[in-house]
Amino acid sequence: MRIYDETFTSRLMLGTARYPSPQILKDAIVASGAEIVTVSLRREAAGERAGQRFWDLIRDTGVKVLPNTAGCHSVREAVTTAEMAREVFGTRWIKLEVIGDADTLQPDLFGLVEATRILSNDGFQVLAYTTEDLVAADRLVEAGCRVLMPWGSPIGSARGLNNVYGLRAMRARFPELTLIVDAGMGVPSHASTAMELGYDGVLLSSAVALAGDPVRMARAFRLSVEAGRLGFTADPLQPRDFAEPSTPVLGQALLGDTVFA
């Protein structure tokens, strides 16, 4: 999986919020095989976790941190948070979120494009949390974004991929762009389906953190992502409207003088 000028073996990215304990978070990261984790600067600043202990834990896993602008509802708020994240984490990467609806947490696509343009011009490498809207995707690419992260369904909903057609159309529209399905997954089969559509990766958070056994669920998602990618690259059989025999019939079976047809 390529993120701007870096390449990663794992195609699974993991959120770090709402785990039962720091140790379970660490064990889940290891079990997932993820090489990238997302961190919300605003939530860290609000004291959701135990400060230095959390950063020590992340460093111990050896993963790369992708800061995000979770919780931002305006362009100014998102840009300011991104600038702070660059100073804190020492990275040009930013997972850009500009939320437009408080109930669905749907992105504000107009604000997202504007914030992407501002940050890209300032040297950021933007990973944009968006919908499967192709017009918005075109605008984001024009604004400098090279990694699109369309939602599967609303954040934390566990509904899986609500619009498979739209996600497939986005993959077809941007064959060379890095596309990562972000949000809404609940079970490993959801991730596998995303990978079978040809997506480059998936980002999970609540599906693992809020599972009864986060570590086991992290491993399950790891396997599902690998299986989905293998299935996609194996050139799978396409759906048909009619049956086709799986065993070819070369002739008629004979038993003595009796013909079985």
Which residues carry out catalysis?
Answer: 95
Amino acid at 76: R
Collect all residues with Cβ–Cβ distance below 8 Å to 169 and sequence separation of at least 6: 132, 134
183 is in an annotated binding site: yes
Q: Is there a binding annotation on residue 246?
A: no
Using a 10 angstrom Cβ sphere, with 0-12 exposed, 13-18 middle and 19 or more buried, the burial of residue 59 is: exposed
DSSP secondary structure letters along 118-132: HHHHTT-EEEEEE-S
Q: How many helices (H) and strands (E) does the chain have?
A: 10, 12
156 annotated as belonging to a binding site for a ligand:
yes
List beta partners, residue 150: 130
Q: Is 25 exposed, middle or buried (0-12, 13-18, 19+ CB in 10 A)?
A: buried
Cα-flanking dihedrals φ and ψ of residue 147, to 5°? -135, 115
The CA distance from 19 to 65, in Å, is 17
For 166, the token pair is: 């739209």
Q: Is residue 120 marked as binding?
A: no
Q: Consult the annotation and say whether 85 binds a ligand.
A: no
Could you list the residues known to form a binding site, using ranges: 156, 183-184, 205-206
Could you list the residues known to form a binding site for 1-deoxy-D-xylulose 5-phosphate, using ranges: 156, 183-184, 205-206
